[in-house]
Amino acid sequence: MIVVVANRWDQVAQAFVSRWAAHNIRVLTSQDLSAVGWHQRLSSADQATAVVGKEVVPQKEIEAVVTRIPCVVAEELFDIVPGDRPYVATEMTAFLLFWLSSLKCLVVNRPTPTCLSGPYWRQENWARAAAAAGIPVEPVCRRSMFPSPGPQHVTSQTLTNVTVIGPRVFGDTDPVLHDQARRLADVAGVELLVVRFSNPERGARFVSADVYPDLSNDAIASAMLDCLQQGTQVHA
Amino acid sequence: MTETGTILLWGLPADAPLAAVRDALQRMDCDVVLLDQRDVLDTEVELIVGSGVEGMLCVKGERIEFDAVSAVYPRPYDSRDLPVIAEAGHNSEAWQHALAVQDILNSWTEITPALVVNRPAAGEANGSKPYQSLSVESLGFYIPDTLITTDPEIALEFWRRHQRVIYKSLSGIRSIVSHLTDEHMPRFQDVASCPTQFQQYVPGIDYRVHLVGDEVFACRILSDADDYRYSKRVDMQACELPEEIDAQCRRLIASMNLLIAGIDLRCTPENEWFCFEVNPSPGFTYFQGMTGQPIADAIARLLASAPDHACIASLV
């Protein structure tokens, strides 16, 4: 079984699972964390069970996981008493950090204590990492004062995306930008990365990055499936 | 004056650990600045990151360049809880500015080459106790038999097997650690709403260990309560740890990229050492007051050791 951890509104995750239903892919949401059936022990996973798609499954049947949320948010916990939602969301996030970290199967984007989908880096941190990797960088500048001096002039810029999914890199750009995105993924220690450059040409500057590839893109979704299936092959 | 740059303390002046460290730094004649969170509406901050990390803070007209700061001791509270921000209201301009200041400073403390005690991301592991326990166990400490479940029947079976069981939050939200009793039975079905953590009760003597750089301050705690933090009758004595346990504590905080920490241990009658928690932002003054251990002085020495002290400028 392949598991996609997502929020309950994530239509892209649902479409991804529906498209490849034959591969036994299911979505796990916060609703599954409010269902009888989870059984986890800190020192042993032998008897462990999880709840995926409202069904109790032995943990050993889970072969690969990808996570599309940074945390569980209170707003999606409709079934919890409103006053308890922030606390329960924090508890569920803490649980998922443990669970995803303890899985022995393939977890494509391993969680960190700051984010369930990998490193939670602000743009300053990505820019610093990109500069350290030798990538030309558009400086990140943030300023705050009170009262604000007035509306800030924001220049809209059309950016070029390069997406890293495991060993594959996507984006209609000069190959140099593919190499740079790959290098940044290695520096960050991530398998999934979206890097935005100032333009598609050689010499373009790094602008920003995140760890959430666009699974509504067919080629990227297909590469993600390939990546997840490596887990099923190891399992077999 | 020591040969350091400015040492920046960030938080509330009434916060006991922050105040104790400030006093210690002033006794050492260090150049210390307290960034008082209550002044947030008079605080301007700028951060520029490209090939380097630059920026500045300006509070009531007093400007500090980031590259003049050699060390930081951050203990900020949630800015939204400051009276001036709460009164301004959710999403007000003041509210947005307070959050922006906090976020920009958090970002800076993650990436500045200055010595930061501790960097925010390094402390986040404490936000999930079972996650932290994975690291703790891998470094040789015992951890209690722990069940996390949404199944009331499995929880009851665990309770029957261990006889004495405690429950506590999974996250870093502070909760009173309590024994399960018959009074909890009517609420047992609530377990189905959210994964809940149950632990085998481990008898023994509690130890609190504060690590500050290379220095270790251990104390033995005698209390009848399940959670000594909430007991009115607590006795504490400074003590030495067995050499092996001392070494394990040092390895533990090094593995977590922490420069200071408060570690909760318990030694059983069988001389098994259990580790319950590693606190990356310890409220050490309670223990310092009970034992006389000079923990604030040690933190001040650590901060003043920058830039000689190799800082952990992790990207993560």
Residue A152 to residue B80: CA distance in whole angstroms: 24
Residues of B in contact with A205 (CB under 8 A): none
Question: Which pair of structure tokens corresponds to residue A71?
Answer: 């945390």
CA distance B159 to chain A (A): 14
Summarize the confidence of residues B191-211 as an average pLDDT. 95
Q: Indicate the CATH number for domain B6-116.
A: 3.40.50
Residues of B in contact with A187 (CB under 8 A): 315
Which residues, other chains included, contact B157 with Cβ-Cβ below 8 Å and sequence gap of 6+? none
Q: B261-286 b/e with 16+ CB inside 10 Å = b?
A: bbbbbbbeeeeebbbbbbbbbbebbb
ipTM above 0.85, yes or no: yes
Fold (topology level) of B145-200: Dna Ligase; domain 1 (3.30.1490)
Is residue B227's pLDDT more than 80?
Answer: no
**Largest Cα span, chain A:** 61
- Which positions 26-45 of B are in contact with A (Cβ < 8 Å)? 40-45
Q: Is the pTM of the predicted complex or chain greater than 0.95?
A: no
Domain B124-128+203-293 falls under CATH 3.30.470.20: yes
Is residue B78's pLDDT more than 80?
Answer: yes
Compare CB distances from A139 to B49, B147, B152 and report the shortest one's residue: B49
- CATH 3.30.470.20 residue ranges in chain A? 123-210
Which pLDDT tens digit goes with each residue over A168-190? Answer: 999 999 999 999 999 999 999 99
Residues of B in contact with A120 (CB under 8 A): 121
Is residue B232's pLDDT more than 90?
Answer: no
Summarize the confidence of residues B77-105 as an average pLDDT. 96
Compare CB distances from A39 to B97, B151, B316 and report the shortest one's residue: B151
Assess B48–A contact: CB distance below 8 Å, yes or no: yes
Which pLDDT tens digit goes with each residue over B136-191? Answer: 999 999 999 999 999 999 999 999 999 999 998 999 886 667 788 888 888 888 89
Same fold, B6-116 and B124-128+203-293: no
Residues of A in contact with B128 (CB under 8 A): 93-95, 97-98, 113
Is residue B1's pLDDT more than 50?
Answer: no
| Cβ-defined contact of A127 to B49 (cutoff 8 Å) | yes
Is residue A234's pLDDT more than 70?
Answer: no
CA distance B209 to chain A (A): 23
Interface probe for A, chosen from B105, B147, B170 (most Cβ of A below 10 Å), is B170
pLDDT, position A149: 85
| Cβ-defined contact of A188 to B315 (cutoff 8 Å) | yes
Assess A98–B contact: CB distance below 8 Å, yes or no: yes
Question: Where exactly are the structural domains of chain B?
Answer: 6-116, 124-128+203-293, 145-200
Summarize the confidence of residues B225-230 as an average pLDDT. 70
Q: Where are the beta strands (DSSP E) in chain A?
A: 2-5, 25-28, 39-41, 49-52, 55-58, 64-67, 106-107, 140-144, 160-165, 168-170, 192-197, 206-210
Q: Which CATH number fits domain A123-210: 3.40.50.1240, 3.30.470.20, 3.40.720.10, 3.40.50.620?
A: 3.30.470.20
